[in-house]
Amino acid sequence: MRSVRLCVLASGSGGNSLWVDAAGTRILIDAGLPLRETARRCKGAGLDVRDLTDVFLTHEHADHSHAAGILARRLGVRVHATRGTMRSLRDPPPEELRFAVRAGVAVRLPGLTVTPVALPHDAWEPVAYVVDDGATRAAIVTDLGSVTARIVRALRDLDALVLEMNHDVQMLLEGPYPWSLKQRIRGDRGHLSNEQGAHLLENILHGGLRHLVLAHLSERVLANYGSHARLCIGSQARALDPVLLEPSRAVPLRKARQLALFG
Distance of CA 103 to the CA centre of its chain: 15
Which pLDDT tens digits describe the chain residue by residue (263 residues)? 468 889 989 887 788 999 999 988 999 999 999 999 999 999 999 999 999 999 999 999 999 999 999 999 999 999 999 999 999 999 999 999 999 999 999 999 999 999 999 997 778 899 999 999 999 999 999 888 678 888 899 999 999 998 887 656 667 667 777 877 676 666 556 567 777 777 788 888 888 888 887 633 344 444 555 555 555 555 555 566 666 666 665 444 444 333 222 22
Q: Do 71 and 35 touch, CB atoms closer than 8 A?
A: yes
Q: 55: Cβ–Cβ under 8 A, 6 or more apart, which residues? A: 27, 28, 30, 31, 68, 71, 72, 77, 78, 79, 80
**Count of beta carbons in the 10 Å neighbourhood of residue 242:** 15
Spell out the long-range contacts of 227-236 with Cβ–Cβ below 8 A and sequence spacing 24 or more: 227/253, 229/205, 232/8, 234/8, 234/10, 234/11, 234/12, 234/162, 234/164, 235/8, 235/10, 235/11, 235/12, 236/10, 236/11, 236/12, 236/13, 236/14, 236/15
Q: Is 85 helix (H, G, I), strand (E, B) or coil?
A: helix
Q: What local confidence, expressed as pLDDT, does residue 256 receive?
A: 35
Beta carbons of 20 and 29 less than 8 angstroms apart: yes
- Global pTM reads 0.77
Q: What is the pLDDT of residue 121?
A: 78
pLDDT at 218: 40
Task: Output the CA–CA distances (angstroms, integers) from residue 195 to 109, 186, 218, in the order listed.
Answer: 36, 12, 9
Contact at 8 Å (CB) between 54 and 25?
yes
What was the pLDDT predicted at 27? 97
How far is residue 51's CA from residue 53's CA, in Å, rounded to a whole number?
6
Put the strands of the sheet holding 160-163 in their side by side order: 107-109, 112-118, 127-132, 137-141, 160-163, 211-213, 230-232
